[in-house]
Chains A and B, each alone.
Chain A
Amino acid sequence: MAKMIGMIGTSHIPAIGRAVDQGLEETPYWVDFFEGYKPMRKFLQEEQPDIAVLFYNDHGLSMFLDKKPTYAIGCAPQYDNADEGWGVKVIPPLTGETELSWHIVNHLIENDFDPTVCQDIKVDHGATVPMSVLYPNHSYQGVKVIPIAINCERHPMPKPSRSYAFGKAIGDAIRSWDSDQKVVVLGTGGLSHQLDGERAGFLNTDFDQMCMDKLVTDPEFICQYSNDDLTRIAGAQGVEWAMWLAARGCFSGPVKEIERRLVAPISNTASGLQLLLPA
């Protein structure tokens, strides 16, 4: 039985990748934010997870509107990054874990979730920024990654409650995998922000703090919100709470919060960082 060691919630915006590229981590704008990664990096160094199950959303690198999955799971031996059009450096490939990927797919379909199965996808900043920032200097070669994408671009999007249930089913699958490997779960994106329209720049850090509280004690509380609710309360891209909910769903029992940080503004977002361990 694979061991689920914990969940890390993290932003994934390109500006973070750029800040890492340009060595800006200690500058006044960024220092409070990157300080939050120190305990996350220490946790990963000490625990040495074998596998990272990474919930993200593709922003138009591999998954254009022509064929855009609602949920998609990577089942590839390797995931390349590529140019996304705005000058963030392409990072070395992530290594996949096909055996667990297929185990998750088999379990999901047997349990009435029907994701798109991807044997060859590129991953964008949604996946690469978290790996870059959690594993400095691209030191992620020792961890295998299973990217799981949730549509956060085009409505209709899966309901937050569905993404939480999806995460629960994935957690069940991981726990039923006959292996002694250690798995960390990454929920990425968010938190409150709105990139588009005259309402651009809207944040709601009170809501973010409340949801981070609830993620620890009562994640189902967050499932009451629809995507339209999240748009109103947390901005149009507040729907990225889906990935945090899916990640939290992977843990069946109580969790304890080890670290939390909410920093705003980071680029156009309120950026959350949270480390939760099984209690």
Chain B
Amino acid sequence: MSDNQMPEGTYKFDGDMATLGYNLNKMCFTFNEEESREAFRQDEAGYCDKFGLNAVQKEAILKRDIITLLRNGGSIYYLAKFAGVLGLNVQDVGGIMTGQTTEEFQAYLDSQRVGKPNG
């Protein structure tokens, strides 16, 4: 099911992935609250254990390995909240996932520019 006819570098978040990633996403969902963000910062590994992340997911969280998180059921909506905890914006995350610096990723976006005569 997952990745069925999907373009390369695209992880379809379907039922199988949602099942695999449920605990991971549930953890990241708590990052809506500052108290949870702070608890994570204080003890990242312990916080992962509290939510029952598997070993691969936990290691990927600790290493900020967004692609492995996507491959293991992470939903970009909740991974974005994880990125927020780390103080990263979506261009930073784009760079991490594509193996580029933020500036290189921004340049890729800019290469598709339309409607910005002033920018």
Contact = CB atoms under 8 A, between A and B. Distances in A.
Nearest to B1: A155
Contacts of A205: 112, 114
Contacts of A196: 10-11, 70, 76, 79, 97
A279 to B, nearest CB: 25
B9 A197 contact: yes
A64 to B, nearest CB: 5
Contact of A262 (B33, B70, B98, B115): B115
B81 A86 contact: yes
Given A196-B11, A198-B8, A264 B32 contact: no
Interface residues of B, number: 54
Nearest to A59: B77
B31 A32 contact: no
Interface stretch (B21-29, B42-50, B53-61): B21-29
Interface stretch (A23-31, A37-45, A245-253): A23-31
Interface string B64-94: 0001001000011111110111000111011
Interface string B11-41: 1111100100010011001011110010000
B13 A197 contact: no
Interface residues of A, number: 45
A85 B119 CA distance: 29
Contact of B80 (A83, A86, A198): A86
Contacts of A262: 114-115
B14 A156 contact: yes
B110 A265 contact: yes
B97 A197 contact: yes
A261 B14 CA distance: 33
Interface in A200-233: 200-201, 203, 205, 228, 231-232
A152 to B, nearest CB: 9
Contacts of B80: 59, 85-86, 195
B37 A270 contact: no
Contact of A264 (B76, B98, B113): B113
B112 A203 contact: yes
Interface in A252-279: 261-265, 267-268, 270
Given A84-B81, A85-B85, A231-B7, A154 B75 contact: yes
A195 B10 CA distance: 10
Interface of A: 15, 28-33, 59-61, 64-66, 82-87, 153-156, 194-201, 203, 205, 228, 231-232, 236, 261-265, 267-268, 270
Given A85-B32, A196-B10, A196-B70, 14 more contacts: A28-B119, A32-B119, A59-B80, A60-B75, A61-B32, A83-B34, A195-B90, A197-B11, A198-B97, A200-B105, A201-B112, A231-B6, A231-B12, A265-B112
6 contacts: A15-B90, A33-B119, A65-B22, A82-B32, A196-B76, A264-B114
